[in-house]
């Protein structure tokens, strides 16, 4: 019984700490006029803030809402 309890506690801790954090993304500029890089994407969270630099304290450039491309 102790073995299963320990396993359940460890699994819960791993899942809990695995969900904590900040997600970073890098946006690259097109190589030339009219060119698209990557694939179109849809915002799947309540809102997404695009920033000047990959730092949560940098200036916000644009905020996208759920469902926007």
Paired with 62 in beta bridges are 50
Whether the per-residue pLDDT at 1 is higher than 60: the answer is: no
How far apart are the C-alpha atoms of 33 and 60, rounded to whole Å?
25
- Contact, 51 vs 58, CB < 8 A? yes
At 16 the pLDDT is 72
The number of helix segments (H) and strand segments (E) in the chain equals: 1, 2
Query: What is the C-alpha radius of gyration for the chain, rounded to an integer number of angstroms?
Result: 19
For the stretch 14-67, pLDDT in tens is 777 766 666 666 766 666 766 766 777 888 888 888 888 888 888 999 999 988
The domains of the chain are located at 41-69
pTM of the model: 0.44
């Amino acid at each position: 019984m102790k073995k299963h309890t320990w396993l359940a506690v460890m699994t819960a801790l791993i899942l809990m700490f695995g969900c904590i954090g900040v997600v970073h993304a890098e946006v690259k500029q097109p190589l030339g006029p009219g060119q698209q890089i990557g694939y179109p994407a849809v915002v799947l969270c309540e809102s997404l803030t695009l920033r000047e630099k990959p730092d949560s304290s940098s200036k916000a450039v644009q905020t996208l809402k759920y469902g926007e491309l």
